[in-house]
Amino acid sequence: MISGSRTNLAVKIYGPDLAVLRSLSGQAEQILEHVDGIVDLSNEEQSSVPQLLVDFDRPAMARHGLTPARLARSVEALFQGTDAGEILEGGLVSRVAVAFPEEARRHRERIEALPVTTPDGNLVRLGER
């Protein structure tokens, strides 16, 4: 129970590469299915989570007056959304958040075209050099 599993016996395999972990868990499952007394054998695979690595071009950032922290906040806002204000209606306060549409975040070309505001108020494309 301490490990988070609700079974009498659990095998946990850890590592950084999900494909390798899936292969190892499949191998473990094949071995365990031949052990006497094993019933209800199951494999709880982790789902793949798409990731995007944004590698900042520091000389380009400097030309536009952007710091890594400021650009990281901008990129986070594009993907996760950011608070844009509040609406007060009948005594009820609703927060308003904005984010780019999912479709604009699926393709590299569209991601590179996403606007980032520079400290002087200009807009540059995320992929601009």
Band (pLDDT 50/70/90 cuts) for residue 1 is: very low
Domains of the chain: 1-49 (no CATH), 58-125 (3.30.2090.10)
10-14, 21-25, 63-67: least confident range: 10-14
Q: Are 119 and 66 in contact (CB under 8 A)?
A: yes
pLDDT tens for 38-79 read: 888 888 777 777 777 778 899 999 999 999 898 888 888 878
For 1-129, where are the alpha helices, taking DSSP H only?
A: 18-32, 58-63, 68-80, 108-112
pTM for the whole structure: 0.51
| Whole-number pLDDT of residue 43 | 83
Give, as one character, the DSSP assignment of residue 46.
P
